[in-house]
Amino acid sequence: QDKTQKVAIQDRSARTSAVIETLERDLELLCLTGVEDKLQDKVRPTLELLRNAGIKVWMLTGDKLETATSIAKSSRLVSRSQDVHIFESVANRTEARCELMKFRRRNDDALIIRGDALEVCLKFYPREFIELACQCPAVVCCRCSPTQKAEVVHLIKQYTEKTTCAVGDGGNDVSMIQEADAGIGIVGREGNQASLAADFSVTQFHHIAQLLLVHGRYSYKRSAALSQFVIHRGLIISTMQAVFSSVFYFASVALYQGLLMVGYATVYTMFPVFHLFWTKMCNPK
């Protein structure tokens, strides 16, 4: 009977609902199951540390509104005393414009938006939405598809010109991780797709703080110092050769011959390079 109603041409949904209501009545509940998905250890202090470091944190999830709100509050991404603005569902350009104007007066609140409303806003007013959302202390996007996650990251890069980092642990996060400037995959129960597609792989969420704030700082400082060292090393030998040539009326005579010139860039100036990697510029703790 259910198959007959599903192949009907007219009023298919109404007929199917009528059949379901006929069958699903006077039933006895035999079993109730639930799936527990706890937060990892040290999620709250890690998020607090990242936000204190000036990093804007967005949560893009496929969970429903209630679940996403509960996770955001339990992880302290949104404090329990903080005002939250839930972006209403919009279906067209006019409704999206009205809701954005309403949200403009409450941009100090945390923003929670569903995937359908996010799709409409990104279609008609991508710049306005990104600029307003970036002013919020926290943003939660629920019911997001993998394509929407990647699109949000792309628009943040396009309109804010900021460096983005995407963190994920499942196959739905692969496109977002690949779109971001730096992708971090967490090896977990949902598989290894995210960690295999990411630039960096960690086993726990709280390792992200050390990865970004310690090793990230080391990498940035050392790369900057190394580039300056290479430039100065080349300028020194070039200046010496120019002065030497000017003394001898710019004759084609080399200041250093043979192995002396080869050793300048390999042996004689290699110790400062090792010093850069041995020196810790700050205390990791």
pLDDT number for residue 279: 73
What residue spans define the domains of the chain?
43-162, 214-278
| Residue keyed to tokens 């192949």 | 7
- Is residue 9 very low, low, confident or very high in pLDDT (cuts 50, 70, 90)? low
CA distances to 25, 181, 228, 235 from 22, in Å:
7, 54, 78, 87
Residues 6+ apart with CB under 8 A from 100: 121, 125, 128, 129, 132
pLDDT number for residue 276: 76
pLDDT greater than 60 at residue 1 = no
pLDDT number for residue 10: 62
Contact status, residue 177 vs residue 183, Cβ threshold 8 Å: yes
Mean predicted confidence (pLDDT) in 135-163: 93
Higher pLDDT residue, 105 or 149?
Answer: 149
* Rounded CA separation 75/58 (Å): 12
Top-tier CATH class for 43-162: alpha beta
pLDDT greater than 70 at residue 12 = no
pLDDT number for residue 8: 53
pLDDT number for residue 48: 92
pLDDT greater than 70 at residue 270 = yes
pLDDT number for residue 280: 72
pLDDT greater than 70 at residue 4 = no
Higher pLDDT residue, 35 or 123?
Answer: 123
- Is residue 19 very low, low, confident or very high in pLDDT (cuts 50, 70, 90)? confident
pLDDT number for residue 61: 93
Higher pLDDT residue, 190 or 183?
Answer: 183
